[in-house]
A and B are shown apart, each in its own frame.
Chain A
Amino acid sequence: MQDALEGVTGVEFGSFAAGPGIGKYLANFGARVIHVESAQRPDGLRTHYPPFKDDKVGLNRAGAFAFWNDSKYGVTLNLKHPQGLELAHRLVEKSDFVIENMRPGVMARLGFGYRQLRERNPRLVLLSTSNMGQTGPYADHPGFGSQLSSLSGFSELIGRADGPPLFIYGPFIDLIAVAFGGIAVLAALDHQRRTGEGAHIDLSQYEAGLQFVTAPLLEYAANGKVARRNGNRDPVAIPHGCYPCREGCWCVISCWDEEEWQRFCIAAGLPALSKDPRFSEVSERRAHETELNDLISQWTWEEDAEKLMHRLQASRIHAAAVRSMRELFSDPQIASRHVWQKQGHPEMGEHHYRMGSFQLAEAPGRVRKPAPCLGENNEEIFCGWLGLAPERYRELEGQGVFS
C-alpha cells in the first residue's frame, strides 16, 4: 500500500511545538521529515520542558519533545560552521519543503533565508511560522504559545462571567497554527507538483489563532459589542452546562430545542421541571438559568457520570462525561480509532504517541517510529541519503560540523 505523502521530503529548522508539530503530521502520512538541531543548543523541549520519563532530566527523556517529533529523522548540524551550512543547503536541495520557526530574520542572517534557499532549489516550499509573522512592527518579538493564547482573545473568553480569565493549557494556540501550517504546506506542495513553482508561506501563530475568534471579532466590528467569557453558557442551547457527579466526576448536558428539553425532563426523572413556570419556555429558562443549573446539579450529584452519559444519549439528549488526561487513554471511542500508538524508545522505553483526528480509508497514517534521540540519524541521512563518504563524514565530525 502506498502512503499519501510517499516520496515527499522536508527539513525542519525549528524547535518547540509550532514548527515541529507540522512535520509530525506529515511524517505520519509518509513524508520523510528531517528534524535539524544544534547539538550545542538542542531543541528547548529536550532541555527545559517537563515531563521527563521518570522525572529524570535527559536530552532523550523528554516527553514533550517526543510528542511533536515521532516518525521523523533527527540530525544535528552546526549552522554557524560553513560546512554545516553547506550540508544544510544540500539537505534543502534534495527536499520539497522546509519548515522553520526561528525568530524572523534569523534564517536570513545564517545565510539561509528564502532568497538564498530558492537560488539552490527554485521549487522549494518554505513555511516560516512565528508568533507575530515575518513582517509588521512586532515581527521580531519572541514568545510562547502559552502566552499568545491571551493576546489572541482566548483567555478573555474562558471562565465564569463574574470571575477571572483562565489559563488555557499548554501551547494551545501553537496547535491551531500547526494545523493551519500543515494545510498551507500541503496546498503549496500540490501547487508545486502541478506548476513546478515554490512558495514562501508566512504564518503568524497569532493570526492563525484569531481564525477561531472570527465571529466575536466580526461582532465587535459590526455592533461594537465586546464578547466576554460566560462560563459554560450558550446563546442558543439551554440548559447548557457542566454538572457535578459522583466521585469528583463531571457531566455536560445541553438541550437545543423544546423537544430535547422535554425528553430531558423525563429522562432525568424530573417531570416537575417541565411544568414549573420558571422553566416553561426558553426565555423563562434563560431568565432562571442559575436556578435551573442548581436543580440539575442536585440531581446529577448522586449519578455516575459515565452511566449518566449513556442513559441520556439513549434518550437522544446531548450529554458527555468530562474526560481527564488519564481517561483519554481508556475512552473506548478514542481507542477504536487507534489514536494512541505505542513505540519502543531507546531511553524512555515503550510509550504512546498520538495520531491526529483524520484517517484516510486507502492510505491510513500511523506512528512510524519513536522520536529520534539527539543526532540519532546523522549517518543515515548524511551518508546514506545525502551520499557523503564515511571518511568525509568523520572528517567533518572532527571539525565540529555536527556539534
Chain B
Amino acid sequence: MTMLLESYRVLDATGPLGFLTGRILGDLGAEVTKIEPPGGDPSRKWPPQLSLGNRPAESLSWLAFNVNKREIQLDLETEAGRDRFRSLAKETDFLLETFPPGKLDAWGLGYRVLSEDNPGLILVSITPFGQEGPYRDFLASDLEIMALAGVMSLAGDEGAEPMRVTLPSAPLWAGVEAAMGALTALAYRSSTGRGQQVDVSAQVAAMAAVAHAPIYWDLNRVNPERTGIYMTGRTLTGARMRVLWPCQDGWINFIIYGGPAGRHTNRELVVWMDERDMAPDWLKQMGWSTFTVPELTQEEIDRLEAPIGSFFATVTKREFYERVMDRGMLGYPVATVKEIHEDPQLEGRNFWQNVRIPGSDSDLRFPGGFTIVNGKRLPIRVPEERE
C-alpha cells in the first residue's frame, strides 16, 4: 500500500523546536521541504558530529530530525526570499514554523495573508509558550521549558538540584504534539475545506512528561516532589519504593508491584534468589497471591527491599534482561545507547536502517521510523546533496 500521508506537501520553516514535526510527517510519506537560512541552520554546527573527511562535518543532532526532508535555502530577511516563501506556501498543505510570535505577521506572511492565497493551508506555529499569554516573548531553550513545565521538579535527589534529561527533550515533546495538532487540523479541513492556524506551546507539550502527577495536588492537595532513585505516590501510607538498583555492572530498574504481573514477578524473583541461596525463609513464605502495594508501610517495604538489593548486586545487566524476558517478569536494565544498539528485540523488528550520508564512505546505523504500518517499517530517506 501507499504511505499514509503520501499525497501531502509540507513546508518546514522550523528551527530545532519544530524539527521533529516535519520529520514525522516525512516518515509518514508527506513530501517535506526544509527551508533554511542562507548558510544553513545554525544547529548544523552543533555537536555531536559525523566527521566527513575533507568536507564539513554533519551534525548528528541536526541529521536525527531532518532526514526524510528535501532542503532549500531561503533568506526571509530579503523581499525576494519572502516572495518565494509566499509562493511556496500557496502550493503546500502544511506550513511549520517556530518564529517568535508576531514575526510572520511583521514580514507580511501571517496566516491571514497566506490563507488568502491558500484557504486550505494549515499553519502550525510552534513556540516555547504559544502565540499569546504573559510569557509569549520569553526566551526559552529546553532547560527553561522543562523548568516551567514542572518536569525538572520531579527529577533529582530529594530537596537537591532539580534535573533535566541531559539531552534536549522539550523540542521533541513539542514536535510530536505539533504533528498531532497538524493532523487534527487536517481532519477538520477534509470535512470543511478550511485550513487554520495550530498554536502549539512547548511548555504544555513538555507537561506531558509529568503524566498525572499534578492530579495528586488537584484531588488531595499533595504536591509530588523529586525522590532520586525512588518513587512515591503508589502507597496510601506515603511510603517510597525503590526503582533503580546498583548491579554488578551498572544499574537496573525493578519495582515491587502488586496485580497479576507484579505477583508473578515477585514469585519468580524469589525463585531466582533461592537458586543462589539469597532468599531468606520469610521471603520464601510470602503469600504473593493476595499481595498489593497501596497499603504497604515504609517498614514493610524496606524489609522486602533489603534482600532484593543484596541479590541484585550479584547479577549483571545482561543476565537480568535475559532472565526477566525468559520468565515474563517486570523490570529492565538501565540501558546505555550501546546496549540499545545490541538489543535482540530491536534487531528482531528490523528497527535499524543502514543509511549512507552523502560524502561518507560507510553506512550509518539509523534508528528506524516510529512505527510499523501493515507490516512495513516507516523508512528513513537521507537528504541528497544540497542545492
Contact = CB atoms under 8 A, between A and B. Distances in A.
A354 B214 contact: yes
Interface in B212-254: 212-220, 222-231, 233-236, 243-244, 246, 251-254
Interface in A172-206: 172, 174-176, 178-180, 182-184, 186-191, 193-195, 197, 199-204, 206
Given A190-B183, A333-B133, A357-B177, A322 B231 contact: no
Interface stretch (A86-94, A145-153, A380-388, A394-402): A145-153
Q: Is the interface of B mostly helix, strand, loop or mixed?
A: mixed
Contacts of B184: 4-5, 29, 186, 358, 360, 365
B10 interface: no
B166 A186 contact: no
B28 interface: yes
Interface residues of B, number: 159
B386 to A, nearest CB: 19
Given A51-B216, A166-B163, A166-B244, A180 B371 contact: yes
B279 interface: no
Q: Which of B46, B64, B153, B211 has the most CB of A within 10 A?
A: B211
B328 A140 contact: yes
Interface stretch (A71-79, A130-138, A266-274, A282-290): A130-138
Contact of B188 (A4, A182, A331): A4
Contacts of A158: 155, 163-166
Interface in B291-312: 292-294
A308 B184 CA distance: 38
Contact of B229 (A49, A164, A217, A323): A164
B333 A151 contact: yes
With a 10 A CB-CB cut-off, give which of A166, A331, A339 has the most chain B CB atoms: A166
Contact of A348 (B132, B219, B243, B334): B219
B346 interface: yes
Contacts of A203: 370-372
Given A184-B373, A197-B1, A227-B167, A328 B150 contact: yes
B54 interface: no
B33 interface: no
A138 B370 contact: no
A40 interface: no
Contact of A323 (B153, B164, B180, B336): B153
A333 B134 contact: yes
B186 interface: yes
Contacts of A261: none
Contacts of B225: 324
B103 to A, nearest CB: 16
Contact of B336 (A146, A156, A170): A156
Contact of A157 (B135, B165, B331): B165
**Residue with the greatest number of chain A CB neighbours at <10 A, chosen from B134, B188, B216:** B188
Given A153-B340, A190-B4, A197-B1, A180 B349 contact: no
A222 B370 contact: no
A152 B335 contact: yes
B191 to A, nearest CB: 7
Given A167-B231, A318-B140, A351-B219, A207 B147 contact: no
Interface stretch (B79-87, B196-204, B282-290): B196-204
Contact of A167 (B212, B230, B349, B371): B230
**A-B pairs with the 5 shortest C-beta distances?**
A358-B181, A136-B348, A357-B205, A186-B183, A150-B253
B4 A318 contact: no
A57 B236 contact: yes
Nearest to B378: A184
A80 to B, nearest CB: 16
B205 to A, nearest CB: 4
B207 A339 contact: yes
A322 B153 contact: yes
B102 interface: no
Given A147-B330, A152-B340, A325 B216 contact: yes
Contact of A320 (B140, B194, B227, B366): B140
Contacts of B218: 63, 329, 340, 351-352
Interface string B94-127: 0000000000000000010000000000000000
A42 interface: no
12 contacts: A133-B345, A135-B372, A146-B231, A147-B330, A150-B251, A165-B229, A170-B213, A254-B141, A321-B147, A325-B150, A337-B204, A357-B200
